A = this chain, B = another copy of it.
Amino acid sequence: RLYSLAQPPWPHQRPSPSASKEVWKKGGRMFSILLAVHLALLACTLVSSGAFEKIAVHDYDVFFLLTIMMLVVIVWMIFYLVSTSRCPDAILCKDSHAGPVWLRGGLILFAIFSLVMDVFKIGYYSSFYSCLSAIKIIYPIVQAIFVIVQTYFLWVSAKDCIHVHLNVTRCGLMLTLTTNLAVWMSAVTDESVHKAHSNSSTEECNCNSQICQIFKNGYFWLYPFNIEYSLFASAMVYVMWKNVGRFIDHHSHHIHRLKFRLFRRTFFVGIVLGLIILVSGLGVLIVYEVRVNSSNESSKKKEALTMYYIFNIVCLGLMSLVCIGGSVIYRFDKRDMDRHKNPTRTLDVALLMGAALGQYAISYYSIVAIVASTARDAISALNLIYALLMIAQHTFQNVFIIEGLHRQPPKEDRKRDPHQKDPYGLTFVNVNAVSLRVPDSGSTLAPSTVPGIEAIHPSELVQSLAGPKKMNWRRKFLREISMFLLLSNIILWIMPAFGARPQFDNDKELNFYGDSMWPAIVDICLPFGIFYRMHAVASLLEVYIMS
């Protein structure tokens, strides 16, 4: 035993001489962050100025900047792919948490839709290319190439922990991240402007032909996918940036290789309930869109709004209850918390908490408007309940997802293992304990805590032997819950992403805050709300697989 401590066989010891190559990681990161901040601010300035007609900055100025940024990023990505394939020492280890297959699958799905959108855009602008600046056609062409190259790049190298050209790679990744965020900002602004001016056609060259109208409507319907593509790519690029120059302890990883088995021992209750919600939600959305957009009668509009609110209240209420149930089940779950370092998960949690702020802000402004205004009617009451439930549901769902993501995956393999009590099991726990870091205390658990672990461990084993039936029940429930929440989040993503805007159709807040403040609040915050739903779906899928 003493021998093994004096010469420990830990694999993370190996790279430590080369780890000292980089004297100060923070300094290396700082430069790339500065680059990203400046580029992002410049893009943000141009995009926000370009959105206003009165301001002498036009959308082609924005497209020009974005085109240049995308071209630079394409060149850098090709350089990265070539240089890493040539140098065998470039990638010493891979982060198995990064770029899970469903994230990469989603990326490819959104990439395909983005490409279709670009084709539509090219078709739309080429219908009257004679009276437009050339950049409006060049931009979608460059964007299509960018989407193809970036999707290939992320598919191949999302898990890389690169160890050559550290600073160039950091800057390149930050440039990629900024470009994606700028494209996202531009798409969100473009969509909001289009929604606001959908009736007035002030363009010099009108789009009158049938095919041109199809192209135009087509590319605006496909915008949500492009927006999600940019955000997915940004998240993956950020994780790659965090992994630059990182060495990974391979021990904590081989437990996580879980397979995605969709219908393993479920009661189908979650899926069936979720599908009911999904289908009825689609129906509500179609009826709502048709009624609100076609008729100017206020009674029909009110009916549509009432229907929309009631559906959402039922859906959000159910989801909140289910989330509370899930959190209660976690209280009785004896699985250990997973404290290993995991940049993907940290990012997931930060994005969930951060993106929820968008919907929180809209809801709080709604609540203040409804409470402070004197006129009260049924729609206002429904709107108030809707806003309150929105806040509650986001909060409970975040708590549920974050708790789920931090659980250790189930130890099924160990339970089925007949040699459970052999020394191997103890060594395994042992090594894990050594590499376990108590976060924030600035100290490490030293090998001398091994006796303590040994003392705790047998009781845990006994427990997991005594109650396998109960564990299964709990896990089944958790799986039902996450599947139901997943499907519900999909419909709550579809509704705002495809144009339902009760925030504007209901004129309460618009009258209270005025024509400039309320649209500003909604247009800034709603994209985060939509992204939240998308991201919650991805995280719930992970919770489903882990439970």
Residues of A within 8 A of B (CB): 2, 5-8, 10, 12-13, 16-17, 19, 23-27, 30, 33-34, 37-38, 41-42, 44-46, 49, 52, 54-57, 61, 242, 245-249, 252, 337, 339-341, 353, 357, 360-361, 364-365, 367-368, 372-373, 391, 395, 398-399, 402-403, 406, 435, 437-449, 452, 512-514, 516-517
Contact = CB atoms under 8 A, between A and B. Distances in A.
B247 A395 contact: no
A446 B2 CA distance: 14
Contacts of A54: 514
A25 B447 CA distance: 22
Contacts of A445: 16
Contacts of A249: 441-443
B365 A45 contact: yes
Contacts of A41: 357, 360-361, 364
A19 B441 contact: yes
A46 B369 CA distance: 10
B441 A247 contact: yes
Contact of A24 (B337, B399, B452, B516): B337
A27 B54 CA distance: 48
Nearest to A15: B441
Contacts of A12: 441-443
Given A52-B514, A357-B37, A444 B437 contact: yes
A518 B311 CA distance: 41
A109 B512 CA distance: 42
20 contacts: A5-B6, A7-B448, A8-B448, A12-B443, A16-B438, A24-B339, A26-B439, A27-B337, A27-B403, A27-B406, A41-B361, A45-B365, A45-B368, A49-B368, A57-B368, A245-B440, A246-B441, A247-B441, A435-B442, A437-B444
A48 to B, nearest CB: 8
Contacts of A448: 6-8, 13
B23 A337 contact: yes
Contacts of A57: 368, 372
A181 to B, nearest CB: 14
A246 B440 CA distance: 6
Contacts of A361: 41, 44-45
Nearest to A1: B6
A360 B406 CA distance: 37
B360 A37 contact: yes
Contact of A402 (B7, B19, B30, B513): B30
B247 A56 contact: no
A345 B5 CA distance: 34
Given A23-B337, A24-B406, A368-B57, A446 B514 contact: no
A56 B402 CA distance: 38
Nearest to A24: B337
Contacts of A441: 12, 19, 246-249
Nearest to A513: B55
A266 to B, nearest CB: 27
Contact of A56 (B373, B395, B435): B373
Given A5-B6, A27-B337, 16 more contacts: A5-B5, A12-B442, A13-B443, A19-B441, A23-B337, A24-B339, A27-B406, A41-B357, A41-B360, A49-B365, A52-B514, A56-B512, A247-B438, A247-B441, A435-B444, A437-B437
Nearest to A337: B24
A337 B10 CA distance: 26
A516 B517 CA distance: 10
A311 B400 CA distance: 56
Contacts of A365: 45, 49
Contacts of A33: 353
Contacts of A26: 402, 406, 439
Nearest to A443: B12
B395 A34 contact: yes
Contacts of A516: 516
Contacts of A16: 438, 443, 445, 449
A406 B452 CA distance: 36
A406 B26 CA distance: 9
